[in-house]
Amino acid sequence: MIDRFPLGINTYSIRALKWHDLPLIEYAASLKLDAIFLQDSLDPATNDPAHWKEVKDAAKRNGLWLGTGGGAVLPRSDEQAEFDRSVKLLRDGVKRAVGMGSPLVRMLLAGDRDHLPPGPPEKHIATMVKVLRVVRSEAMDAGVKLAVDYPKELPCWR
């Protein structure tokens, strides 16, 4: 029997503090939490592999499960350049997750209804599936799961 359940913090909830990754990890540890989800990091070194190792080591040192992710990845239009941008964002997210020791890459489909490209929900879902398929084998080989966060305008039962 477990006498307690794990608790963590999603850094999006305290983004107004504008803290970088390492202070966020120290803060989570000071609260005696079990996990930290670095969502949409504001750290200027977020794309630096040396920083990823620092973050991974800090989370491990503090006994924290660490998750990571990024912003919206749905192509903003039907142009190939937009599709390629989305694939690159996901590939970069997988690399960052591996470097930080995160078992997942959480990404937004789109920030909100205003950021969805023109077209019906079915089109957006189909486009996102195409993007995910391009990155699927890389994520699987890395042992990283892709987690899509979608806006309320796209109900999960569609």
CB within 8 Å of 82: residues ≥ 6 apart:
75, 76
Enclosing H/E stretch for 68: strand 65-72
Percent of the chain with pLDDT over 70: 91
Structure tokens at 120: 């019906």
- Write down the pTM of the prediction: 0.88
Cα of 89 vs its chain's centroid, Å: 10
73 and 89 in contact (C-beta within 8 Å)?
Answer: yes
| 94-132 confidence digits (pLDDT tens) | 999 999 999 999 988 776 666 677 888 788 889 999 999
Structure tokens at 5: 């359940």
List domains and CATH numbers for the chain.
8-149 (3.20.20.150)
- Asked whether residue 157 carries a pLDDT value surpassing 60, the answer given is no
Grouping H, G, I as helix, E, B as strand and the rest as coil, residue 128 is: helix
